[in-house]
A and B are shown apart, each in its own frame.
Chain A
Amino acid sequence: MKTARAVAIPLLLQLALGGAARVTLPVAQAEEYPVPPPPLSDGIFPCSDCHADLEPDPTPRVLGMHEEIVERFHHAEAQRWCLDCHNPSDRDKLRLANGELIDFGESYKLCGQCHGTNFRDWRAGVHGKRTGMWNGRKEYRLCVHCHDPHRPRFAPIAPEPEPRRPWAIDTASEGEPSAPPPAHGQHGSE
């Protein structure tokens, strides 16, 4: 009986502490996923510099401002607009679906609301680029370091040059390549 209590009390204590830890989870998570600061456009942050004096208009509409975002916006745009993610009252924060306000540096929580499977992989270090140490400290990136939040699909990029074909590799230190090029030729850096 005594031993049972001796076990039960630390167990209850642990549960209570665990509960407390769950409340402070956002802080723990921020430390768990060390991310560089978000890539905000120059001169755009803090948003409150302009928005503090503006009356928030909750009506979805085509904005007369932020043209560069309006033009490229392609992120389920039929269902979504600015205030679904940006907080209307304090503009320097993002707002989760449950009303919680978060910093731009924690934006992965916002993305994770819809992209749950990717968020799960990201936390495990499998979705997205990871640098640092394979058995030590890893460097995470925010979703927005790779994906433009207003147009998340990757834009195509120019590839590095193709390898030289075997006939074009000159293994002698001087002289011509060992065989003539085929009729269709070789593209790229010659």
Chain B
Amino acid sequence: MSTTRDPHDTISRRSFLKLAGLGSLAIPAGSADASIWEAFFRKSFREMNRDEVGAMLERLERRYAEEHGYQLAVKVTGPLPGVKYGYGLDLSRCVGCRRCVYGCVQENNQSRDPQLHWITVLRFAKGEKWVNDLERADAYYHAEAVPEDGYFYMPVQCQHCEDSPCEKACPTKATWREPDGIVVIDYDWCIGCRFCMAACPYGARRFNWGEPGLPAAELNPDTHYLGNRPRPKGVVEKCSFCIQRVRENPGRYPACVEICPVGARKFGNLLDPASEIRYCIDNKRVFRLKEDLNTNPKFFYFFAT
């Protein structure tokens, strides 16, 4: 019965690949189209060798320059040996001023319009049940001056879980945990299904519903492939502990640590007993958000007083 059909209707897989191969040959090497093919048939980031990564970065930087006018360098700095990053946030000091939110936007090239933030500062009324009831918090508080009487503030961002639900939910393995504990996203591997957002108990992941608006003049050109490089529409993004800063040796503190006017934010190596974060864990009353879920976050809230 197949003989009754026009043979041109059915294209076998073999002939399709042949055609595709011919097609790719027909595209002049070095043109934008060729780079689209290369990008489409690339391997997963973790399977690439050095040359393939180099070619990919070159392609990326060229595309950023052509499409957006961004002049930037994309790094792929690997994890430092013997390092597991940990973060501390002193709830007794935070005044809810949101300097961290906008410091992060600037450092990590978030879209300005449509607005996208990696950090949410939650406001709670003092004395209310709160720790596992984030829905009752107000992220949109408006105040002439902070801190306000009767309230306290808790910034929430990616908790970099040791046992991260987002990683398990991702169908394409576009998000994973690096050896230094940073949960990263390969934006080019992300298909935008948002399963990770549904899986994250902390609401830390953000989706680019629209084409990110980032003026070239406001770009931070020091970028990391798995961190703050400009993102396309339709991918998920989140806090990366400022991977482009902290993986240098010596590495700078994350931008939110540096901008906090009250010094509520602490950062360091969990494996180094002399680090600030270890001092907090050893000497302060620390807790982690939604500990009962066994996600084992590396983000510690504490009370220094």
Q: Is the CB of A163 within 8 A of B102?
A: no
The reply to whether A158 and B276 contact each other, CB–CB distance below 8 Å, is no
State whether A156 and B115 are in contact (beta carbons under 8 Å apart), knowing that A126-B276, A131-B253, A163-B120 are contacts in the complex.
no
The segment from A22-30, A40-48, A104-112, A164-172 that touches chain B is A164-172
SS of A interface (majority): loop
- A113-139: contact bitstring with B at CB < 8 Å (1 yes, 0 no)? 000000001001111111111111100
Q: Which chain B residue lies CB-closest to A173?
A: B211
The count of A-to-B residue pairs whose CB atoms sit within 8 angstroms is 119
| Majority SS at the chain B contact face | loop
Interchain CB contact (< 8 A) of A135 among B113, B140, B249: B249
B98's partner among A132, A159, A164, A173 (CB-CB below 8 A) is A159
With A126-B280, A162-B142 known as contacts, the answer to whether A170 contacts B98 (CB < 8 A) is: no
A135 & B250 in contact (Cβ 8 Å cutoff)? yes
**Which residues of B, 211-229, contact A by the 8 Å Cβ criterion?**
211
In B131-181, the 8 Å CB interface with A consists of 139-147
Q: Is the CB of A134 within 8 A of B267?
A: yes
Counting chain B CB atoms within 10 Å of each CB, which of A154, A157, A173 scores highest? A157
Q: In the complex, what distance in Å separates the CA atom of A107 from the CA atom of B139?
A: 39
Instruction: Tell me if B114 and A171 are in contact (CB < 8 A).
Output: yes
Question: Which of A128, A135, A146, A162 has most B Cβ within 10 Å?
Answer: A135
Q: Is the CB of A134 within 8 A of B269?
A: yes
- Interface readout for B261-276 with A: 1 if CB under 8 Å, 0 if not? 1110011110010011
> What is the total number of residues of chain B having a CB less than 8 Å from a CB of chain A?
52
B 98-126 binary contact with A (CB < 8 Å = 1; else 0):
11011000000000011101001000000
A169–B113 Cα distance when bound, in Å, is: 8
Q: Tell me whether A57 is interfacial, beta carbon within 8 Å.
A: no
A134:B252 contact, CB within 8 angstroms:
yes
A residues less than 8 Å from B276 (CB atoms): 124-126, 130, 134
Contact present for A170 and B113 (CB under 8 Å): yes
Q: Is the CB of A132 within 8 A of B146?
A: no
A10-32 at interface with B (beta carbon < 8 Å)? none
Which of B142, B261, B272 is A129 in contact with, Cβ under 8 Å? Answer: B261
In the complex, A161→B146 CA distance in Å?
Answer: 12
Which A-chain residue is minimally distant from B272 (CB atoms)?
A: A135
Closest A residue to B269 by CB, please name it.
A135
Known: A156-B145, A160-B98, A162-B140. A134 touches B246 (CB 8 A): yes
Task: Please state if B99 and A163 are interface contacts (CB–CB under 8 Å).
Answer: no
Within the complex, what minimum Cβ distance (angstroms) separates B245 from chain A?
Answer: 9
- What are 16 A-to-B residue pairs whose CB atoms are below 8 Å? A125-B276, A126-B276, A126-B284, A129-B261, A130-B276, A131-B253, A131-B258, A132-B253, A135-B249, A135-B272, A158-B146, A159-B98, A159-B145, A160-B99, A162-B142, A163-B139
